[in-house]
């Protein structure tokens, strides 16, 4: 089944070349998982979209209508990945934003397949050479400017590597190319701050609401010394890391407990080996 797409709540798959999202990356996006007609993390996605629109001074789209449109496009799909893109709409040539922007909303829904083995055994990750620049004005937002992630992901083609870790300019691990990163040291759960670069993921927010999390810098050497390491994303959920550099792990109790929480809120682990959504 191919993706179902709408533009401004009408079935379509094109936008004008004058759209500022296309021209300048002027907008935001959300990537959601739809399971059995529900988006369990919808409220967290809506909250992040609301904050992002406020920070970028974008008019907020109708969130209720956006939810309904997602349900319409995803009807009949038992497990699906949704991308919601909100741009500032079309405008004249030049960086100056229009004085009265008319946002454009694009929703795309497609069947989701996840690799069951990755959740049982974990994945191997590598350290990317590409680093994230500091930009507090945009830090935490899931904005449309993703060239750093594109360049980082282009660094490897080995199917044995499931993700790449990305550092800031000081060499501290911030995230993976498309996920947040957590580490367990004894009784302490740690994740990097995303106040200067990186994305504040909704799965990251869900974990922070469940248990105490320490925001702490981690260079690659410190990360390699952790008792457990796992990645989080709204679509892939809780993904154990089994290998990084010369270190190997087995998924630990914190990772397994959070995977169980994901099942409890309606985001089950895949039960059969499938192609990974990376």
The pLDDT score that the predictor gives to residue 63 is: 97
CATH code for the structural domain at 116-264: 3.20.10.10
Phi and psi, residue 124, nearest 5°: -90, 140
Each domain of the chain, given as residue ranges in start order, spans 4-111, 116-264
Confidence at residue 273, expressed as pLDDT on a 0 to 100 scale: 39
Q: Say which CATH topology domain 4-111 has.
A: D-amino Acid Aminotransferase; Chain A, domain 1 (3.30.470)
pLDDT reported for residue 244 = 98
pLDDT of residue 276: 36
Decide if 183 contacts 172 (C-beta within 8 A): no
Q: Low-confidence residues of the chain, pLDDT below 50?
A: 272-278
């Amino acid at each position: 089944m191919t993706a179902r797409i709408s533009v401004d709540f009408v079935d379509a798959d094109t936008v004008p070349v004058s759209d500022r999202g296309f021209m300048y990356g002027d907008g935001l996006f959300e990537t959601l998982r739809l399971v059995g007609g529900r988006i369990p993390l919808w409220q967290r996605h809506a909250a992040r979209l609301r904050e992002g629109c406020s920070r970028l001074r974008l008019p907020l789209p109708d969130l209720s209508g956006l939810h309904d449109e997602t349900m319409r496009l995803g009807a009949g799909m038992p497990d699906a990945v949704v991308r919601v893109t909100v741009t500032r709409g079309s405008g004249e040539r030049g960086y100056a934003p229009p004085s009265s922007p008319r946002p454009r909303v694009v929703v795309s829904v497609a069947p989701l397949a996840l690799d069951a083995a990755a959740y049982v055994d974990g994945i191997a990750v590598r350290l990317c050479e590409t680093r994230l620049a500091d930009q507090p004005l945009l830090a935490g937002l899931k904005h449309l400017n993703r060239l750093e992630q594109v360049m980082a992901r282009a660094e490897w083609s080995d199917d044995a590597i499931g993700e790449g870790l990305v550092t800031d300019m000081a060499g501290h691990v911030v995230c993976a190319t498309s996920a947040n990163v957590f580490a367990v040291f004894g009784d302490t759960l740690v994740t990097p701050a995303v106040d200067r670069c990186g994305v504040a993921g909704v799965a990251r927010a869900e974990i922070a609401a469940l248990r105490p999390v320490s925001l702490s810098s981690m260079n690659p050497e410190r990360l390699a010394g952790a008792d457990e390491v796992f990645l989080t994303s709204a679509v892939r959920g809780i993904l154990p890391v089994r290998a990084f550099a010369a270190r190997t792990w087995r998924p630990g109790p914190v990772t397994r407990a959070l995977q169980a929480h994901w099942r409890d809120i309606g985001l089950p682990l895949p039960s059969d080996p499938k192609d990974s959504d990376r």
